[in-house]
Amino acid sequence: MDNNDPLVQLLGCCVNLEELEIIGPGLDPTEFEFSAPNDAEHPCIEPLDLQHLHTMTLLSMHSSPLMFALLNTPLPALRKLTLTPYDDIPYPTSLVSQLISTHGHSLRSLLLDTPKSWPTRLHPSPATLLHACPNLTHLSLENPLPVLSIPSLCGPHPLRMLSIPRPKSDYWKILEGYLPHLPQLTVIRARDVRWLRRGMTLHAQGAGVQGEMREWRRRLNRRGVKVLDADWKDCE
């Protein structure tokens, strides 16, 4: 694994690159059944020159020569990062959590997303996201929703928007514990749910996920936090 990797070579020629999106093949669970790689199998790769890169998306990719190169590459302009989480797979087999830790300080938007496939395998996210990304204003979480640790030494976190797949009753108590530490939070978005259209019965509006959405909306309105749906709309 070295700088002869085609993607690493390509990006080595793209010094003015501002946006990067790569979708990988996903993770084959049988990859790790018989052997676990160690640091010695992953020699250092020379850093790239990506001073202008501000938006990066790496989906369904837990490790690659490019990701090793990015760990060694200063990314001073990086503001938006989209990744598929693999926090249950340790470094260096997975590099995702390490990328967040390495480049999180400059981020304003961190989106965790697992592309839909069959079967979809969801992996956990780091609990330390708010510590690693102290300047985030938008955080989008993936299932299973993590219990985030709250930074205690640096004052309130500046997060303004939190996206989750959908509200769940058992997550409300966890979310409620975050609120005193997120005084600038103004939006919680349910990115996989849409409000029912006007004219639906009260029973339909109060059932299932719609009922949970309305209950969260009622509770959060008192705190000045809006609950928006997948289309960024409030309830009609």
15-34 residue pLDDT tens: 999 999 999 988 876 665 54
The domain spans of the chain are 1-27+46-119
98-141 residue pLDDT tens: 999 999 999 999 999 999 887 888 999 999 999 999 999 999 99
Peptide bond preceding 167 in cis form (omega within 30 of 0):
no
- Per-residue confidence at 206, pLDDT binned at 50, 70, 90? low
Helices 208-221 and 169-178: crossing angle in degrees, nearest 10, is: 20
pLDDT of residue 204 exceeding 60: no
Q: Residue 120's CB: how many other CB atoms inside 10 A?
A: 10
For tokens 């070295």, the residue is 2
Lowest mean pLDDT among 41-50, 144-153, 162-171: 41-50
CA distance 200 to 208: 14
What's the pLDDT score for residue 66?
Answer: 95
Q: What are phi and psi of 202, to 5 degrees?
A: -60, -35
CA distance 178 to 198: 32
Determine the length of the chain: 236
pLDDT of residue 198 exceeding 50: yes
Closest listed residue to residue 162, CA positions, set 83, 109, 209: 109
54-77 residue pLDDT tens: 999 999 999 999 999 999 999 999
pLDDT of residue 236 exceeding 80: no
